[in-house]
């Protein structure tokens, strides 16, 4: 039987992660500048190779940590990419992950500000290999998830205002929502807790901060979170 195994082709397995962040205005992706060996102006996703005795999730976590110093980011598997010529150097199958992080939180933990940079989704640079395709798929899935589940809070600080939350969802879906309808829908899920504190400095009136009711949030309680029944709103 070992024979049968030994006859098969072996491949490198890479892990590439699409890290989404939100700066209050635009949805962004964290990219890494490729080492000097290549064309200097190519950016790539957070990537690395799978090592022995390491699971896929584990490897993706480790690679993200090595690039950024970030731990405990929830990485979710996206898809495997295996075009035989996707990496011209050697046959590599890449398993992609996506994560949402809070940019503020991230920036002060950031290990390597020289080689990593946030890019707005609308002005992405040229990406390595098939990484642009990976980003596109990640965005598509992000939209699908965000309309069904209350994700997106990972992209915000622990306390955030409703206008901030709305901006985020508007950035994800690249559209605008009615303020009153948005507020009503979000509050009706009861996953937010209003604080007594107001945001200072941004607007004159100041907006109340909210925090996540983590109990309810974990319970997955808000299925069909934003029920966007109209595809035009999403696409």
Q: Does 37 bind a second copy (CB under 8 A)?
A: yes
DSSP summary character for residue 50: P
Q: Which residues contact 121 (CB under 8 A, 6 or more apart)?
A: 26, 27, 28, 29, 135, 139
Q: Which of 2, 6, 204, 231 binds DNA (CB under 7 A)?
A: 204
Cβ proximity of 47 and 16 under 8 Å: yes
- What binding mask, one character per residue, do residues 141-180 give for a second copy by CB under 8 A, x or -? ---x---x--------------------------------
Stretch that binds a second copy, among 163-171, 181-189, 190-198, 226-234 (CB under 8 A): 226-234
Q: Which of 36, 40, 52, 196 binds a second copy (CB under 8 A)?
A: 52
Q: Does 2 bind a second copy (CB under 8 A)?
A: yes
Q: Does 77 bind a second copy (CB under 8 A)?
A: yes
Q: Which of 80, 111, 193, 195 binds a second copy (CB under 8 A)?
A: 80
Cβ proximity of 192 and 46 under 8 Å: no
Q: Which residues contact 184 (CB under 8 A, 6 or more apart)?
A: none
Collapse the DSSP code of 172 into the 3-class scheme (helix H, G, I; strand E, B; otherwise coil) and give the result. Answer: helix
Sign of CA dihedral 21, 26, 27, 33: negative
d(CA 120, CA 173): 14
Question: In this complex, which beta carbon is closest to DNA, that of residue 140 or of residue 176?
Answer: 176
Kindly state the greatest CA–CA separation across the chain.
Answer: 74
Q: Which of 148, 185, 213, 234 binds DNA (CB under 7 A)?
A: 185
Q: Which of 161, 169, 171, 192 binds DNA (CB under 7 A)?
A: 161
Q: Does 188 bind a second copy (CB under 8 A)?
A: no
Stretch that binds a second copy, among 6-14, 19-27, 167-175, 181-189 (CB under 8 A): 6-14
Across the beta sheet with 43-44, the strand order is 43-44, 27-33, 116-120
Phi, psi of 63 (to 5 degrees): -65, -40
Collapse the DSSP code of 145 into the 3-class scheme (helix H, G, I; strand E, B; otherwise coil) and give the result. Answer: helix
Total residues interacting with a second copy, rule: CB under 8 A:
41
**Residues of this chain that bind DNA (CB under 7 A):** 161-163, 178-181, 183-185, 198, 200, 202-208, 227-230, 233
**Residues of this chain that bind a second copy (CB under 8 A):** 1-2, 5, 8-13, 37, 49-56, 59, 77, 79-84, 89-91, 93, 95, 144, 148, 220, 223-224, 227-229, 231, 234
């Amino acid at each position: 039987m070992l024979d049968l195994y030994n006859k098969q082709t072996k491949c490198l397995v890479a892990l590439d992660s699409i890290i989404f962040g939100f700066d209050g205005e635009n949805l962004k992706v964290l990219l890494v500048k490729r080492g000097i060996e290549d064309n200097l102006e190519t950016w790539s996703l957070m990537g690395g190779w799978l090592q022995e005795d390491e699971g896929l999730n584990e490897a993706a976590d480790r690679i993200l940590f090595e690039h950024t110093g970030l731990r405990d980011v929830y990485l979710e598997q996206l898809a495997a990419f295996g075009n035989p010529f996707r990496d011209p150097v050697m046959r590599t199958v890449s398993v992609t992950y996506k994560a949402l992080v809070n940019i503020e939180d991230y920036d002060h933990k950031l290990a390597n500000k020289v080689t990593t940079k946030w890019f707005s989704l609308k002005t992405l640079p040229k990406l390595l290999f098939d990484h642009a395709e990976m980003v596109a798929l990640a965005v598509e899935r992000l939209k699908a998830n965000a309309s069904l589940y209350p994700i997106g809070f990972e992209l915000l600080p622990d306390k955030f205002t409703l206008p901030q939350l709305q901006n985020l969802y508007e950035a994800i879906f690249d559209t605008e929502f009615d303020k009153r309808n948005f507020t009503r829908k979000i509050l009706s899920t009861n996953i937010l807790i209003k604080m007594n504190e107001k945001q200072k400095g941004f607007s004159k009136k100041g907006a109340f901060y909210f925090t996540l009711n983590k109990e309810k949030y974990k319970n997955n309680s808000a299925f069909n979170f934003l029920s966007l029944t109209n595809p035009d709103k999403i696409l």
